[in-house]
Every structure is written in C-alpha cells, then in structure tokens.
Amino acid sequence: MATVKCRSWKTKKGISKSWYIDYKDTFGKRVIESGFKTKVEAEKTLAKRLQEIENGYYVDSNKSLTFAQLADKFLKYYAELHLKETTLSCYQCCLKHLLPIIGDMKVLEITPNTMNEYIRLKQSTTKLSNASINKHLVLAKQILNHAIDNGLLARNPLDRLKKLKEEQIEQQCLTQKEVYAVLEVAKKHYPDFYPLLITAIFTGARQGELFALTWDKINFVEGYMKIDKRVHNKTISTPKTRSSNRKINLPDEVIRVLKEWRLRCPHSEMNLVFPNENGGFLDRHNVRKRNLNPVLRRAGVNEIRFHDLRHTFASLLLANDAHPKYVQDQMGHASIKITMDTYSHLLPEAHKKGVETLNKILAVPKQEEKKLRFGTY
C-alpha cells in the first residue's frame, strides 16, 4: 500500500524531520523516494506517481525495463484500446516470435545488431517469409516508439533498422474460359462449394467478407449484397477499410444460385450464408484444401489462392470494358488509382488497345499528308 511516512532524528538544534513515500511501480517493484521537506510536498509527489502508475507508464528505473514489459504495456494501454481486433491479433502472433528471443533483454541493450541476429535466426530456423519477419521488426519499432511517447525512453535504437526485401506475390486470375470450366466442375462434383465459388468470382468480395455474410445482408429484390463486416481468425470485425463498407451488385445467375442454396444450406444460429457443416465460420485453409484446389485440378487449371478469385472478378470486368470507377466501387478500393495500379498489368488487351488508339491519333490521312507535303489546299 502506498504511504507517506516521516523520519525524525535528534540534532544539536533539536529534532529534525523529513518525509518519504513508499509505493510499488508499474511492474510491482517497491520504490522509496525520500528527502521531502514537508508532508504536503511528499503527498503531491505520491499522488503524481500513483496517477502515472494507474496510466501504466511509471517505473523507478528505466534501466531495468525489459522488452517484454514494454510490450505488455503497449498491448494493454494502447493496442487493446485503439486497434482493430484483427490488428491486435496480428501483433499477438508477432510477439509469440519476438518475446522468446528478446523478451527478457533490457531495452537499453537492444541494438540494430540484436534484430539482425533475430532475422538470421528466423531465416535459418523457420519458413517465415521476409514479409512476415518485417512485421515483427515493425512491431518492435512501434513498441519502442510508444515507450518514447510516454517518457520511458529517450530514443529508439531501431530507428535506422532496414526492412528485408520482400518478394512480390504475383497476382493470378482465371481466364473467362477457365471460369466456365471451374464452375462446371464445382456444380457437378462439389455442389456445396459451388454457391460460394460463383459468388466469389462474380462479386469480387474478400474471403473474410463472404465468410461473415449473413442472409439479412442480401437484397434479392434489388439485387445486391451489403458488406459491413468480415471474419478474421474466426472473429467478426469491421471491414478492412472504410471504403470496404459497400453494396455489391449481384448478377441474376448468382441470385438464382443463392436462392436455391438458402433452401438447403446448413442451419446457422448466426444466419451465415456460407456456414460450415456445424453452422459456424468456414476455415480458410479447409476451403482451399478440400474445395478450391480439388476443383481447380479437376478442371485442369493451375492452382490459385482464394483471393485470386477477387482478381479474376476485376480482370474480367476491365477486359470487357467495364468502367474502372464501377470496378473500384464494387471492389471497395479507396481510390481508382489502387484499382488501376493493381489490375492494369492483367490486361494485355488494354495495352494493345492503347497503342492502337495512339496510332489512330498519329495517323495522318494520305490526302492530308499530300497536302502538307506539296502545299496543295
């Protein structure tokens, strides 16, 4: 219990007094501060310390701070209050890698070389991609920056730490011919997967958005579905971005398939459109392993990710002259630049048409060319 206490001792001039405070800091370490000339001064200091402790940021000696202690406070007093559950879950996964290796290290002992050794260890003992390891580095920097913001550190020792070079994941998509082949196989041999597959291909919705879709979000009369949530790690959360809250138009065939599916889909207490056999959320790995990959193999199509069905949606629209603004709205992109930068490389026909357009502009009719050449008008 925090207390204010008095010390007294005899001197030649009489009895002298001083006051001291006794309390425990953020991490439960006992702290004694002495030398206060008055009780009021001691009480004011104790009140200040207790407020700092309640906010989670006071320690008697920052030299003893460990990375694990800072990480705990970062999660408790920042991440859990201000970040989405999906982001928080990602951070917790990163810490499962970081803490066993640098968790017990004192923060003042952490240097760029510390993290370079961490990188080498992860690269040699795990199959983590550079992109995944970069997430660990970014989080470590964030935790230390948060400590600076709250007066626990003077500088971030990882400020100049460079991220690893990441391999670009090549975006793939199905051709129109492949779409027909895949849907035919699914309809015949995987009838319970077919409704999810055709909806994914012809709406461009993200996998998590489809897994969280409920029947009340589908308007069969006006022909659209409303996206306002997603599933991540079997937990409902808000969509990826603000622009991801959107209405997606449903083609007539998708509406017909969904109406038929509603009559025979597994019962779900959550009213899910695409539940698992027990009425809960689908597992993304199971969907790929047990449904998508077998369908693709049977259709004679190279394996792709479920997310590539979203790329397929965009590329089919753009290849068939849909307006980029419409594609942007349906995809839930924040700007049309994202749409074009992401998908223009999938459209060789668009590049071909662009060159043809330039050739037309630059082409000078023979008659006009003669006039220019000989000066006849």
Query: Same domain for 117 and 246?
Result: no
pLDDT for the residue numbered 171: 73
Neighbours of 3 (CB within 10 A): 10
Query: Same domain for 286 and 261?
Result: yes
pLDDT for the residue numbered 322: 86
Closest CA to 153 of 67, 78, 48, 33: 67
Question: Would 114 be classed as within a structural domain?
Answer: yes
Asked which of 60, 86, 107 is the last residue of a domain, the reply is 60
pLDDT tens, residue by residue, 18-39: 989 998 876 677 888 888 889 9
Predicted TM-score (pTM) of the model is: 0.65
pLDDT for the residue numbered 192: 97
Closest CA to 42 of 23, 56, 16: 23
pLDDT for the residue numbered 369: 58
Query: Same domain for 239 and 210?
Result: yes
Question: Would 13 be classed as within a structural domain?
Answer: yes
Contact 74, 143 (CB under 8 A): yes
Asked which of 108, 134, 149 is the last residue of a domain, the reply is 149
Cα–Cα dist 197/291, whole Å: 9
Which portions of the chain are predicted below pLDDT 70?
26-27, 52-53, 55-63, 169-170, 344-354, 364-377
pLDDT for the residue numbered 157: 87
Residue 93 is part of a domain; what is its CATH number? 1.10.150.130
Question: Would 214 be classed as within a structural domain?
Answer: yes
Question: Would 156 be classed as within a structural domain?
Answer: no
Question: Would 47 be classed as within a structural domain?
Answer: yes
Contact 201, 313 (CB under 8 A): yes
Query: Same domain for 187 and 317?
Result: yes
Query: Same domain for 215 and 283?
Result: yes
Query: Same domain for 255 and 267?
Result: yes
Cα–Cα–Cα angle for 207, 209, 210, rounded to 5 degrees: 65
Residue 297 is part of a domain; what is its CATH number? 1.10.443.10
Rg (the chain; Cα; Å)? 31
Contact 91, 79 (CB under 8 A): yes
Query: Same domain for 137 and 91?
Result: yes
pLDDT for the residue numbered 236: 85
Question: Would 155 be classed as within a structural domain?
Answer: no
| Domain ranges, residue 303 | 176-346
Query: Same domain for 29 and 114?
Result: no
Q: Which residues contact 161 (CB under 8 A, 6 or more apart)?
A: 112, 115, 116, 137, 141
Query: Same domain for 244 and 318?
Result: yes
Tokens of 30: 């006992």
Instruction: Region of 149 please: left (phi>0), alpha (psi -120 to 50) or beta.
Output: alpha
pLDDT tens, residue by residue, 80-96: 888 887 788 889 999 99
Q: How many domains does the chain have?
A: 4
Question: Would 163 be classed as within a structural domain?
Answer: no
Asked which of 149, 166, 188 is the last residue of a domain, the reply is 149
Question: Would 252 be classed as within a structural domain?
Answer: yes
Kindly tell me the sign of the dihedral angle through the C-alpha atoms of 334, 339, 341, 342: positive
pLDDT for the residue numbered 186: 97
Query: Same domain for 94 and 132?
Result: yes
Query: Same domain for 253 and 355?
Result: no
Quickly list H helices, 159-283.
Answer: 176-189, 194-203, 207-212, 252-262
Query: Same domain for 225 and 314?
Result: yes
Kindly tell me the sign of the dihedral angle through the C-alpha atoms of 77, 79, 84, 85: negative
Q: Long-range contacts made by residues 97-102, C-beta under 8 angstroms, separation at least 24?
A: 97/122, 97/128, 97/136, 98/67, 98/71, 98/136, 98/139, 98/140, 99/67, 99/68, 99/71, 102/67, 102/140
